[in-house]
Amino acid sequence: MKKAALVLFIIPLFTCFAFQGKVNNADEEAAIKSVIEGEITASFNGEYNTWQSYFVHEPYVVWMQGWQEGYACWKGWEDISKSAKTFIKPERKGKSINLGNSDYTIRIYGDVAFVSFKCKIKRVTKGKDHVEDTTEARLMEKHEGSWKIAYLSSIFTTTYEYF
């Protein structure tokens, strides 16, 4: 099961390499980082309306997460939105805190970009702080001049043993 989940995370990442014409533009990279950091902040602050503005609202959008206890996967904006509304609420603020993103890799191919990075999160659970590391990936598309998330994966690496 874990191998199947890992394959589901990896395959979409390689599809972006089929695009030609890599662009290296500092302004585009800054705009992409702004979207990613805005999405994470809005999620952790329980601001659904802001959070949803960072995504492509189409049937092909995918959101995947994996951690020690299992994984979750949603396909299509309707399912993603429905699920997100159950936990991206104001009462979430302060329970998960982004301690920062690092090790960004951004590859831009016209109106499509592949992004990977690491994220450090502090979770407050039952009065205790837990610091977790994730490895994140995004496939971004440009819509009407703005970058939007079309694919999101997040793997909690501190909960796995490396093989």
* Radius of gyration of the chain, Cα coordinates, nearest whole angstrom: 16
* Residue 159: predicted pLDDT: 61
HSE-CB at 140 with a 13 A cutoff on CA atoms is: 30
14: tokens are: 């390689």
pLDDT value at 6 more than 60: no
3-class secondary structure, 33: helix
Across 9-13, 22-26, 30-34, the highest mean pLDDT is recorded for: 30-34
Reported as a single tens digit per residue, the pLDDT across 25-58 is 899 999 999 999 999 999 989 999 999 999 999 9
pTM over 0.85, yes/no? no
Instruction: State the Cα–Cα distance between residues 109 and 92, nearest whole angstrom.
Output: 35
Predicted pLDDT of residue 114: 97
Is-contact 19 110, C-beta < 8 A? yes
Q: Give residue-wise pLDDT tens across range 147-161.
A: 999 999 998 888 655
The yes-or-no verdict on residue 127 having pLDDT over 90 is: no
Domains of the chain, start order? 2-8+22-159 (3.10.450.50)
pLDDT tens string 49-102: 999 999 999 999 999 998 877 888 999 999 999 999 998 887 777 677 778 899
129 — pLDDT class (breaks 50, 70, 90) = confident
Residue 160 is predicted with a pLDDT of 54
Contact 55, 67 (CB under 8 A): no
HSE, side-chain direction, 13 A CA sphere, residue 53: 11
Q: How far is CA 86 from CA 79, 89, 151, in A?
A: 11, 7, 20
